[in-house]
Amino acid sequence: MLGTALLPCLKSELEVVGVDLKDFDISQEAAVQKAFRDLRPDFVFHLAAYTDVDGCEAKPEMAMQVNAQGTRNVAKSCAEIGAVLLYVSTDYVFDGSLERPYREDDRPNPISIYGKSKLGGEQHVRSLLARHFIVRSSWLYGPRGKNFVATILKLAQDRDELRVVSDQRGSPTYTQHLALKLAKMLRIHAYGIYHMTGAGSCSWFEFAQAVLKLGGLDRVRVVPISTQESGRRAPRPANSVLENCRLIKSHLGALPHWTEGLAQYLKEGQHVGDFVLPSSGLGEKPLPREVTGVTTVPPPQLVEERRGVRLVIVPHAQPGCGDIISDPRAPQLIQGVEVEPLTQFPDDRGLFAELFRFGEPGIGRDFDSANGSRIQVSFTISYPGVIKAIHYHFEQTDLWAPLSGMFQVFLCDLRESSPTCGRLNTIFVGAQRPWKLRIPPGVAHGYKIVGTNSGMLVYATNRTYNPKDEGRIPFDDPGINYDWVTRPK
C-alpha cells in the first residue's frame, strides 16, 4: 500500500526501481545480496513487511523471519554497497501505557509479535548502518491496500451496525501524505528515528464514525466496544499516538490532519476501486450494469457447504426479476417460502399488526416458545433506493412483515437439493400490499425500498442472531444477474 503511494512521488527526478515479493524475498539473504549487487542503489526505501498483526501472532517465526531477519538482510546489503537505508517502522513498538504521545526517544516495549519483529528490524538497522532513517508511522490507509477505511466502507454496504474498538488511540495516516514526506528524506542528512503520522488523533471508533460521515453512510450505527470484546488475537497498545517532534523541528513540517487525508482518500480511493461510495442519497447503490450478448450460462457455482448441505448460485444469462409473485398461493413460489396476508387490526388509535399467533397454524406455526424454540423479534428502517444485504442462513427461518413503505423483495433458492434451486422470486410488499413472508434456510433474501418513503420491516427469527449462521452474496452478483430496477412490467 505505502509503496504504491511512494513510487510516483519519486519518479520525476530519479532513476527508481520498485521491487516486491515477486522479485525477491527479503528473508533470503543470498537473494537480497544478489539483487542489491545487481541494482546498486544509492538510497533504499525499505517498506516490505509481514503486516498482518494478528497473523504475526499465529506465525511468530514467519514474522521474525521477514520483519527482523529480512530487515537485517536489507541493512547488511546496504552496508556492503554503501547505500542509505530508510526503514519504515511502526507505532506498535510501544506498549501504549504512556498517557502522552510517544516521542522518538521514548523507550520501545512492544506487546505483540508484530511490534517485536519490527523493533527487531530497527535494532538491526541501527547496529549495521550509520546512514539510516527509521520512520515510525501508524494506522496507514490509502489506495491499493487492505486498510481500515476500505473495510469500514465495505461492511457499511450491507450492515446497519458496526462494532468498533473505542479504547485504542492513534493517528490515522494517509499513505499519500506520508509518501510525500518520505520522498523528501532523500535530501536530509540528519539520520536517526523520525515519527511521521497524520496530525491529530482519534480512537478506531471515532475514525469509523468519520469515515461513514464523510462517505455519506452515516445511516450505519457505530457501536463502541472494548479491545477485549473485539476478540482480536494480537494485543495492541491503548495509546500509540506519536509526537512528530523531529519532523516538526526540521524544515519538512508536519503532515496534514488525518481528517484531511481521509477526505482526500475518499475521493481518490473511488477511482482505484478501493470502494464505491453512494452515488446519490443515503446508501443508494449504482444500477446494475447492462449485460449484452450473453450466450452461454456457466455451471452452478458453490457458495457454501455445511454438514453436507450445498448452497449454489445457478447463473442467469439475462438480467431479470425472476417470477413476480402477485398471489400468495402462486405456483412459482420458491419451495418452502410462504406468503400470508398480514393480520391487522386498524382502529382510530392507529395500526396494530400481528406477525403470528402462538399455537396457531400458518407461517408462524413453529415459532412457539412453548415448544422450547427461541424467538428474536427485531425491526429495521430503510430509506428509498437502499438495497439491504442479500444474505442466507443455514439454520434460521425468518418471518418478515413490512409495516410501512414499499419493498421489492428478492428471493433466490440456493439449495442444490431443492426442486426450485436457482429460481428467483420478486415480491412487492408494503403498506399497500400487507403480506408477511416465511423464508426458510438456504433461500437468499434481500430487498430494496421503492417509492419515495422510508420503509419499516418487523421480523422474527427462530434463533438469536449469529453471524456464523449467515452468508452473504453481493447485491449485483453477476451470476444471479438480478434486476433491482423497478419498471412497469
Ligand X SMILES: NC(=O)c1ccc[n+]([C@@H]2O[C@H](COP(=O)([O-])OP(=O)(O)OC[C@H]3O[C@@H](n4cnc5c(N)ncnc54)[C@H](OP(=O)(O)O)[C@@H]3O)[C@@H](O)[C@H]2O)c1
Question: Contact positions toward ligand X, by CB under 6 A?
Answer: 1-2, 20-21, 25-27, 47-51, 66, 70, 88, 90, 118, 137-140, 145
* Per annotation, catalytic residue among 92, 102, 114, 392: 114
Task: State in angstroms the smallest separation of the CB of 467 from ligand X.
Answer: 25
> Can you say how many angstroms the Cα of residue 387 is from the centroid of all Cα atoms in its chain?
18
**114 classed as catalytic:** yes
| CB nearer to ligand X: pick between 91 and 338 | 91
| CB nearer to ligand X: pick between 87 and 356 | 87
Task: State in angstroms the smallest separation of the CB of 3 from ligand X.
Answer: 6
Task: State in angstroms the smallest separation of the CB of 163 from ligand X.
Answer: 20
| CB nearer to ligand X: pick between 19 and 98 | 19
Task: State in angstroms the smallest separation of the CB of 209 from ligand X.
Answer: 19
| CB nearer to ligand X: pick between 70 and 471 | 70
Query: Could you tell me if residue 308 is left (phi over 0), alpha (psi between -120 and 50 degrees) or otherwise beta?
Result: left
| CB nearer to ligand X: pick between 137 and 461 | 137
Determine phi and psi for 31, rounding to 5 degrees: -65, -40
Task: State in angstroms the smallest separation of the CB of 70 from ligand X.
Answer: 5
Residues in a beta bridge with 446: 410
CA distances to 105, 284, 454, 473 from 245, rounded to whole Å, are 10, 44, 51, 47
Task: State in angstroms the smallest separation of the CB of 15 from ligand X.
Answer: 21
| CB nearer to ligand X: pick between 176 and 408 | 176
| CB nearer to ligand X: pick between 175 and 426 | 175
| CB nearer to ligand X: pick between 207 and 400 | 207
Show the 3-state SS of the chain: CHHHHHHHHHCCCCCCCCCCCCCCCCCCHHHHHHHHHHHCCCEEEECCCCCCHHHHHHCHHHHHHHHHHHHHHHHHHHHHHCCEEEEEEEHHHCCCCCCCCECCCCCCCCCCHHHHHHHHHHHHHHHHCCCEEEEEECCEECCCCCCHHHHHHHHHHHCCEEEEECCCEECCEEHHHHHHHHHHHHHCCCCEEEECCCECCEEHHHHHHHHHHHCCCCCCEEEEECHHHHCCCCCCCCECCECCHHHHHCCCCCCCEHHHHHHHHHHHHHHCCCCCCCCCCCCECCCCCCCCCCCCCCCCEEEEEECCEEEEECCCCCCECCEECCCCCCCCCCCCCEEEECEECCECCECCEECCCCCCCCCCCCCCHHHCCCCEEEEEEECCCEEEEEEEECCCCEEEEEEECEEEEEEEECECCCCCCCCEEEEEEECCECEEEEECCCEEEEEEEECCCCEEEEEEECCCCCHHHEEEECCCCCCCCECCCCCCC
Task: State in angstroms the smallest separation of the CB of 51 from ligand X.
Answer: 4
Task: State in angstroms the smallest separation of the CB of 130 from ligand X.
Answer: 21
Residues acting as catalytic residues: 114
